[in-house]
Amino acid sequence: MSVGTPPELMTVDEFLDLPDHSNVKRLLINGELRELETTCRNPRSAAVLANVVFYLQRWYRSQSDLRGNVLVGDVGFRIQNDFESFITIAAVFVPKATPLYRHHDELIFDGPPLLAIEVPSPSDFLEIIEAKVDLYLAAQVPLVWIINPHHKTVTIFRPDAEPEMITESGTLLGEPQLPGLSISVRELFASDL
């Protein structure tokens, strides 16, 4: 590709038809293919992700009116704004009514989650995290948490609102989308690592 030439845009179907490559993690952000070297999640990030999913599951089991799923492990989503995107999200809460998109034998969610959570490892690229947050907000994901294990902070993003950073002494609240959800930030970072 020469300088100044716009990238060739893809659809989600074209993206999903790409051959597997074990050393590359791929995302499709606004029709543009992004390829990253595959790395493993570091232990501190993995512990924080386990903690946040534990508290989300505990909260969800106490709900009687809200139906959906707490999912973890790079959950796949097709999101359509101006261009199609395929992204994976570390942890999510997805309402039961969220449709599924079938491509051959593969099923992914066809639309955004209610809550998107990213727990970056030091090897994750800030540019990709920022691009994903921009995508979530453009798709009107009501609540996005970027949990930073190194600084022990959580940055909360909502469409049409300024980002809010919460430190260890704060509390994450899910209102109004996730009623009754309240998680001590300090508890997210509790581990023996």
Q: pTM to 2 decimals?
A: 0.87
pLDDT tens, position by position, for the chain (193 residues)?
456 666 688 888 888 888 877 777 787 888 888 887 766 677 888 999 999 999 999 999 998 888 999 999 888 999 987 788 888 899 999 999 999 999 888 889 999 999 999 998 766 678 888 989 999 999 999 999 999 998 999 999 999 899 999 999 999 999 999 999 999 999 999 887 6
104 phi, psi to nearest 5 deg: 55, -120
70, burial (CB in 10 Å: exposed 0-12, middle 13-18, buried 19+): buried
178, burial (CB in 10 Å: exposed 0-12, middle 13-18, buried 19+): buried
Query: Sign of dihedral through CA atoms 193, 24, 124, 130?
Result: negative
How far apart are alpha carbons 55 and 2 in whole angstroms? Answer: 48
Q: What residue ranges do the domains of the chain occupy? A: 40-188
CATH of domain 40-188: 3.90.1570.10
